[in-house]
Each structure stands twice: as structure tokens, then as C-alpha cells.
Amino acid sequence: MSSDWWRGATLYQIYPRSFADANGDGVGDLPGVTAKLPYVAALGVDGIWLSPFFTSPMRDFGYDVTDYRGVDPLFGTMADFDALLAEAHRLGLKVLIDQVWSHTAAEHPWFQESRASRDNPKADWYVWADARPDGSPPTNWQSWMGCPTWTWDPRRKQYYLHNFLPQMPDLNLHHPAVQDAILDVGRFWLQRGVDGFRLDTANYYCHDPQLRDNPPQPPEKRGDIPAAMQQHLFNVCQPETLPFLERVRALCDGFDARMTVAEIGSQNNHARMVEYTRGQDRLHTAYSFLLLGPRPRADAIAAMMQDWQQGDAAAAWPSWALSNHDAPRVATRWAQGDARLAQALVALLACLRGTVFIYQGEELGLPQSDIAFEDLQDPFGKAHWPRDKGRDGCRTPMPWQAGAPAAGFSTGQPWLPADAAYRALAVDVQEQDAGSTLHWTRQVLALRRAHPALRLGRFEALHADADVLVLRRAHGSDAVLAAFNLGHDAVRQPLAAALRPAGPALTRGGATWQGTQLYLPPGAVFIVPL
């Protein structure tokens, strides 16, 4: 594949803990992933994004790293990772790995040295600050994990910054030596053969050196937890991040056909995505949480796509996801358990302009699991129960065989309960059903791969309202029309008389093209070349 293989690619996110357990200890592992890669390749994706497998105390399940170059024994060995990488490449799959560069685990040797004194070689590798005169933290910054972003350390008699859990201190990426050390980590994995990085919380890399307080949210935007009561102007999204991103891009450009995708959670997601990916010297692409919350109107989705074709955004490239390991599954969050609508959403994702990510189980239409409090593992869920049950509901084990223990995920007791509702949606059940979400996903991804218009083409909304979206994608001589009814009522949507199908249509839910109009029942999809 060419050096810009990532542009318009489809990538499949694997959360290793919950994908496949090869050794029966109840936790998914790298050999389990390797064994299932033929299944992933058969979906028609271009590669995988592998969530963290690095050495970690697992307070945040791998997003708290103790050794950036180590494989946690829970997941296997470095030889297991090398075998996974080789098998993926044999199958034609690219491999992106998570890199968590905004913070480490408190157990990381860098932090242990940094906290020992104020004058050791790594004293400034993390963000330290004195208390205010009254002993309170240096700023009012609040973490989305349900606590202030500062914790007092009695060794140094200073506060350290952590935008997430207190046991996940923030690196000081203003420090050139820290940037160098992080880039060495990236170089290690690139030399090992990975095809790129998913950069966790990339807009959290730098903080305001002046340590200014965040202002309050206006009353109409104020949420009901402390982090939602302030505008996050100074703890994230600082301009000093941009030169570091340029160093990351330069590192990747020193290797063939590598790419970076940033995760961005910001008060202005679109602007930040454009800023981080515009031109040829910053990151390749980025995704945000714009489609990971409540379902927007169909015309709002169309506006998001069109925003990326004008102004500064035209020199950047977006990525999109409807589900991931941090968000409730889209089959519940948007489709509310309607299997027809869940299938429509898979097709919608495949027709968006940008690089797209499918989360494991999304191709099966898996709903969000309901986890009892006593079974919760997620620290966020434990802290916010019952207002927010956390992230465990989208992390329950993947169902492979309906009749097997734990639906074929493991021969042992799974780390999270295997959802009994998943058995009817297991891979082996759906393989036998030509109308299943699994087969449908393969069809729509094959269509995306076959048409440059869907991977690379311009986006034009022919009609968009609250529930109905009719779009045209075009690239060179290739063009595709796609229509979606995300509502509960059947509609008849007029089309321009000049439009003519140029091949067979891919349809779902009884959609038909009748003369100069589309008939779209609820949850229907109609995709056809022009």
C-alpha cells in the first residue's frame, strides 16, 4: 500500500483484555488476538488499532504505563507481540498501537526518581508546583476522573499534576529531555515494525506554564460534576503542543508508510482536530468525541463532513468513530437496541469522508452491557455510580461461540462478566445468517474498498434533515449515492431527475429507488454507484 494508505482506511480497534483469551486466565491476551486476526482480515478492514498491552499496574487497564517498551505478562511476551505483528502483516493488515504520552503510572521509574527530590536529574520530568499560601493546590483545575488535578507529595513537599487518576502523573512535555525520551519510545516501536500510533489524549500533552485558573462555564453550559463546571482553557490544548507534534511527525516520516491518529477531547473539537492535522508537518489525522455522544441530527452529521472541505480544514484529514472502549456502544447509544438501525449505522460510518474506526463487536451489533456494581472494574464507574456506570459496559468479552463457556472468549472466569445477551449475536451464529450484521458489515466495507469515492471523495449532502441523510461521494469518475433513514417513520425522498444508478444497489430494510424518489422505511439504507 502507498505511503498515504491511512487516508480513507478502515481500522478495527481491538481492546486486548476483552477480545480473546488464549491461556484461560480470564483476560484477553496477545496470542488470543493473533489467533483471531484471520477473522479481522475477513471483515475487509485495512488494519487494527491495538489498545495498550504495556507493563502497567492496570489501575486504568493499561493507560497507566510503567514500561513503555515492555509487554505486561498479563498479555504475553514481546515474542508474542512480534508474532502478532508478523501475522497481521502476512494478512495485509497494518498495526497501530496506542501510545500514552501525556502521563505515566506512578510506579514508572521516571516518576519515582522525579519525586525523590527537587534537584535530581529527572526532577522536572513531571509537573510539580508549590502550594498556594493557604496550602491549597496551585490551580483550580478539575479532572474528568472525579477529583482535582493536583495531589500533594510529602517527599518533595509539592503538588504534582495528574489530569486523570492521582496515580497517573502528567509528564512535563515542555522539557526537551522528556520529549526526547518519548520520541525514543516511538522510535523503538517503529523500528520493531509497527505501522503507526494512536496517540492517547494528545491535546493533554502540555499545560499552561503560568498555572492560570480555568474560568467557570457559563450557567447554561455548566455540568453536574466539577470538571464540567469550568472551561478547560489552561490544563489542556496549549500552543506548545504543536512543536512537539511536528517532532512526532518528523520521526514517523523517517520510516516508510507510517501514520499517527490523535485522540482529542476538547471544548472545540473541530478546531483542535484541524490545528493538529493541517498540512504535512503535523499529525496525519485525528478523531474526537463528536460522534461518541448522543446521536446528532442527520443534518448535523452532514455539516460536520462539509466543514472538513473548506477553509483550513481542507488541508487536514479527519477520522471518525461511533464506538470505542470509552463510550457506550452505538447500538444502544444511538440505535436503542433496534437491530435495523444498528446495521444502518455501520453503513453510515463506512460512507463518511475520512478514516474510520470500528470497535470490536460493532460489526456484530453488540449492545451496551449492564454491569452490576459488584462486578465493576472501571475506577470511573465506581466513583460515579449510579449517575454514570462507567466504561465497563462497552468492554465486556467478545462473543465467539454461542454454546461455549463465556461465549468462547475464555475457558476461565472472564475479568468482566460475559453478557448473556451476546450469545445470540455470537460470531458463529452470525456466520450462519446471511442477513446478520456481520455479513452486512463485510458487504459495506467491501463497497468502501471498491470505490475511491467512498474512501477519498468529496462529500455532498443532497438532502439532510433530523433523521434522513442522502449524500453523494465523488472522486474522479467514481461516484456513489447513499441514503439513510435514522428515524422511526417511512419517508419518500425526491431525487434530481438527472441521477441514474450505474450499477446494483446495496440495500437494507426495504429501501428502493422508484423513478425519481427513494422509499426509505425506518432504519433503511440505500447505496448505489452513479
Q: 220: exposed, middle or buried (C-beta count within 10 Å: 0-12, 13-18, 19+)?
A: exposed
Determine contact, residues 19/28, Cβ cutoff 8 Å: yes
Determine contact, residues 308/289, Cβ cutoff 8 Å: no
Tell me the per-residue pLDDT of 165-177, one tens digit each, with 9 for 90 and over: 999 999 999 999 9
Determine the 3-state secondary structure of 470 from DSSP: strand
263 is catalytic: yes
Percent of the chain with pLDDT over 90: 96
Tell me the per-residue pLDDT of 211-253, one tens digit each, with 9 for 90 and over: 999 999 999 999 988 999 999 999 999 999 999 999 999 999 9
The pLDDT of residue 1: 53
Which residues are paired to 160 by β-bridges?
128, 151
Half-sphere exposure of 76 (CA within 13 A, CB side): 23
Based on DSSP, count helices (H) and strands (E) in the chain, helices before strands: 13, 21
Indicate the pairing of strand 94-99 with strand 47-50.
parallel
Residue type at position 84? L
Instruction: Tell whether omega for the bond before 414 is within 30 degrees of 0, i.e. cis.
Output: no
Q: Could you give all domains of the chain from N- to C-terminal order, each with its CATH number?
A: 10-105+173-445 (3.20.20.80), 458-529 (2.60.40.1180)
The answer, yes or no, to whether residue 516 has pLDDT greater than 70, is: yes
Determine contact, residues 343/437, Cβ cutoff 8 Å: yes
Banded pLDDT at 310 (limits 50, 70, 90): very high
Catalytic pick among 46, 80, 263, 467: 263
Cell, residue 432 = 450462519
d(CA 342, CA 452): 25
Q: How many CB atoms lie within 10 A of CB 258?
A: 23
220 is catalytic: no
For residues 245-266, average pLDDT: 97
d(CA 222, CA 225): 9
The answer, yes or no, to whether residue 2 has pLDDT greater than 90, is: no
The answer, yes or no, to whether residue 81 has pLDDT greater than 70, is: yes
Catalytic pick among 64, 72, 170, 200: 200
Determine contact, residues 234/214, Cβ cutoff 8 Å: yes
Dihedral sign of CA atoms 75, 80, 81, 83 in order: negative
Determine the 3-state secondary structure of 449 from DSSP: helix
Q: 161: exposed, middle or buried (C-beta count within 10 Å: 0-12, 13-18, 19+)?
A: buried
The answer, yes or no, to whether residue 374 has pLDDT greater than 60, is: yes
Tell me the per-residue pLDDT of 114-154, one tens digit each, with 9 for 90 and over: 999 999 999 999 999 999 999 999 999 999 888 999 999 99
Tell me the per-residue pLDDT of 446-479, one tens digit each, with 9 for 90 and over: 999 999 999 999 999 999 999 999 999 999 999 9
